[in-house]
Structure 1
Amino acid sequence: MESHPKFEELKEECLLFPDHAEQLLQVYLDLVESKDFEDVHVIQAPLLERCLIEGLHPDNSNRYLVIPSLVSEPWSVAKLDDTFSALSMEQDPRLKDGAASRITFGVVAADSTITYLNLQRSRPRKSGDAMASATGTG
């Protein structure tokens, strides 16, 4: 990992959060070199004890906030909710604003394949909401 030419660009973050360094570098390289993302920045998220990657998609100019993760990392609905909450409390405004409703996971598999999952934060419906919507009474 340290021998890769791009490692120097992420060295500080990799040393700061070593448990997530491998997936950070892999997702960063994929976004920059394979996906041709533009305006790519690594953002430290101390409350999550990891870094996120922010960048512009080259085709649609949408800004993405990507959390690098290994496929073996356990995620639950509660952990996802905690992640959205923690991001909203981070000091960096890019994390506060960018993760208010949507984040993308860059999930690195054992064979180095990366799958991107877009997640949106939503509020649970009240039990009567679905029925009211279906009947047009709400």
Structure 2
Amino acid sequence: MQNHKSYTVLAPILQKYPRAAGSLFQTYNDIVYAQQWSDVDLVQLDSISRAAISGKRPNTDATVYVVPCSLAETLSFDWLQQAFAQLQDPQEIFLAITSDDASLVYYKLSRGMVKPQL
């Protein structure tokens, strides 16, 4: 991990939140190098002991927030509420769930009741 080019950007956060380091590292690299988002930045979420990733998907102007976590973690409704609150209550966030086999799945979470798109 230390030899990867993204490590210098991530190192302070990885050291601050070691339990969430693997998920953050995997998600950040997917967003930056595979999906090629722009304006990518890290947002510290002290109340849930990790960092989120903010950025813009290709061909969009809207800032999106991604909160990485591991499949092995237990999340609660309170945990999700704290994530939304620390991100200044965006309409939606994406939960990036990573696993030990390097799988990565994104789930879109919206505040309140949201009618599904047709």
> Does the pair score TM above 0.5?
yes
2:72 and 2:29 mapped to 1: Cα distance?
A: 20
2:62 is aligned with 1:62: yes
2-structure distance, mates of 1:48, 1:105: 13
Which segments of structure 1 move beyond 3 Å, counting only runs of 4 or more? 76-79
- Structure 2 runs not aligned, ≥5 long: 114-118
Structure 1 residue 39 displacement after superposition: 0.6
Would you say 1:45 and 2:35 are equivalent positions?
no
Deviations 1:6-52 (A, max 9, x none): 11111011111111111111100000000010010011121221100
How many residues align structurally? 113
Say what the alpha-carbon RMSD is for the aligned residues: 1.6
- What is the TM-score with the length of structure 1 in the denominator? 0.74
Q: 1:100 to 1:63 in 2, by over 3 A?
A: closer
TM-score, scaled to structure 2? 0.85
Give the drift of 1:78: 4.1
- Greater relative contact order structure (CA < 8 Å, 6+ sep): 2
Q: Which has the larger radius of gyration?
A: 1
Once the two structures are superposed, residues 91-115 of structure 1 have per-residue CA deviations (whole angstroms, 9 ceiling, x without a partner) of xxxx21xx33311111112211111
Q: Secondary structure at the match of 1:27?
A: helix
Structure 1 unaligned spans of 5+: 88-94, 124-138
**Residue in 2 aligned with 1:101?**
91
The structure with the greater share of residues assigned to helix is 1
**1:26-45 → structure 2 map (5 Å cutoff):** 26-45=26-45
Partner of 2:10: 10
Structure 1 partner of 2:116: none
Distance 1:20 1:41 in 2: 17
Look up the equivalent residue of 1:111 and give its one-letter code: D
Question: Matched residues in 2 for 1:81 and 1:44: separation?
Answer: 15
User: Percent identity among equivalent residues?
Assistant: 26
